[in-house]
Amino acid sequence: MPLLSLLQFALPALLVIASIVSLIKSLSSQQRYERVIQSSEPAVLKTVDWEHFEQLVGEFFNRDGYHVKPTPAGPDGGIDLRIERDGRLYLVQCKQWKYRKVPVSVVRELFGVVIAEGAAGGFIVTSGELTHDAHIFAKGKPIHIINGETFHRFVRQREKAAVRFPPSPNTRPTTQVCPKCEGPMVKRVAGRGPNRGESFWGCKRFPKCNGTRP
């Protein structure tokens, strides 16, 4: 009886403690997110450790309307987050690598898990960059690559405009990502040449970057 009485009081107390710990983690994640928003330099992402970077990515998707699901214990194929929106499941790998570029093997691994689980797609979010081969392999596949500079820009823009990424398959995208630098693009009209008078997407960073899309 004494043991049962002790458990009767101990269990609710443990649940309260667990809730408090969860709340503290959530608040810490939000504070780190706000610090990233306030920083004008993408390098701020490299000042956090891998665990906190994963929390930042989760907060990013949470604020963008995704339901962030905890990754179950055990082998996960390198998956850090499972996120859902509009009934679609996406798998996320977070790479807080300060010096090394994310290799093509990481993209291959994620693509394999996406196919195996029947997910709608996958995201690789890194604080740095990916290799050229990694970008080439991801082309034409439901794998969305977000490097450090792009992630930082997305985080800051999310607070100003509801930009969905990836866009809904039922709507025509109102923004484009530059195929060269992955920066934002704007609508322009050709002023000369054979396509004079026709509209096209041009990199917002022109003339520093001359990426275009039809």
What are the backbone angles phi and psi of residue 122, rounded to the nearest 5°? -145, 160
pLDDT at 42: 72
Residue 19, pLDDT score: 43
Query: Which pLDDT tens digit goes with each residue over 100-152?
Result: 899 999 999 999 999 998 999 999 999 889 999 999 999 889 999 998 888 88
What does the pLDDT look like over 9-58, one tens digit per residue? 555 544 444 444 343 444 455 666 666 666 667 777 877 778 888 888 98
Burial of 29 (0-12, 13-18, 19+ CB in 10 A): middle
Least confident of 46-50, 98-102, 168-172, 204-208: 168-172
CB atoms within 10 A of CB 137: 19
CB atoms within 10 A of CB 156: 15
Check residue 171 and give its pLDDT: 39
**Greatest alpha-carbon span in the chain:** 90
Residue 96: predicted pLDDT? 87
Instruction: Classify residue 177 as exposed, middle or buried by CB count within 10 Å of its CB (0-12, 13-18, 19+).
Output: buried
Which SS3 state, helix, strand or coil, does residue 25 take?
Answer: helix
Please check whether residue 107 is in contact with residue 143, taking contact to mean a CB–CB distance below 8 angstroms: yes
DSSP category for residue 47: G
Residue 106 is predicted with a pLDDT of 93
